[in-house]
Chain A
Amino acid sequence: MMLPLFIIIPLIAAFLITLIAGKKDVWGIVLSVVASAAMLILAVISFLNVNGETIIYEMGNWKMPFGIALVLDSLSGYMLIIVNLVALTAIIYSIQYIRHLGQDFKYYALFMLMLTGMNGVILTGDIFNLYVFMEIALFAAFALVAYGCRAEEYEAAFKYAVMGSVSSIFILIGIGVLYSATSTLTMARIAQTVPNLSPQIILWVGGLFLAGFGLKAAAMPFHAWLPDAHSSAPAPISSMLSGVLIKVLGIYTITRIFFNVLDAPAVFLTIFIVIGTISILISGFLAIIQWDFKRLLAYSSISQIGYILLGIGLATPLGILGAVFHLFNHAIFKSLLFYDAGSVELALGTRDLQKLGKLGKLLPVTSGTSIIASLAISGIPPFNGFFSKLIIIIAAIAAGQPVLALLAILGSILTLAAVMKIQCYGLRQDVDVEPREKIGLGMNIAMISLAIICIVGGLLVAPGIREVALDPVVNVILEKAEYVQTVLGR
Chain B
Amino acid sequence: MTVYLLCFALFLVGVYGVIAKRDLIKIILSIGIMGYAANLFLILFAYKHGATFPILTGGKVSPMVDPLPQALVLTSIVIELGTTALLVALVVRLFQKYGTFDIAKIRRLRG
Q: Which A residues form the contact surface with B (CB < 8 A)?
A: 128, 132, 135, 139, 142-143, 146, 149-152, 154-158, 161-162, 165-166, 168-169, 172-173, 175-176, 179-180, 185, 227-228, 231-232, 289-290, 292, 295
Contact = CB atoms under 8 A, between A and B. Distances in A.
Contacts of A150: 97
A132 B45 contact: no
Contacts of A135: 79, 82-83
A213 B1 CA distance: 28
Contact of B75 (A132, A179, A180): A132
B31 A158 contact: no
Given A151-B98, A176-B38, A292 B111 contact: yes
27 contacts: A128-B72, A132-B75, A132-B79, A139-B86, A142-B86, A149-B93, A150-B97, A154-B93, A154-B97, A155-B109, A157-B90, A158-B87, A158-B91, A161-B83, A162-B31, A162-B87, A166-B34, A169-B35, A169-B38, A173-B11, A173-B38, A176-B38, A176-B72, A179-B72, A227-B109, A231-B109, A292-B111
B109 A176 contact: no
Given A135-B83, A158-B94, A180-B45, 15 more contacts: A132-B79, A151-B97, A154-B90, A157-B90, A162-B18, A165-B83, A165-B87, A168-B79, A173-B38, A176-B42, A176-B45, A179-B72, A228-B109, A290-B111, A292-B111
Nearest to B91: A158
Interface string B64-84: 000011001001100110110
A156 B108 CA distance: 10
A46 B75 CA distance: 31
A152 B41 contact: no
Given A132-B75, A228-B109, A146 B41 contact: no
Nearest to B90: A158
Contacts of A227: 109, 111
Contacts of B76: 172
Contacts of B82: 135, 139
Contact of A151 (B11, B80, B108): B108
Contacts of B24: 158
B111 A146 contact: no
Interface string B97-110: 11000000011110
Contacts of A155: 94, 106-109
Contacts of B45: 176, 179-180
A168 B87 CA distance: 15
Given A142-B86, A151-B98, A295 B111 contact: yes
Contact of B27 (A139, A162, A228): A162
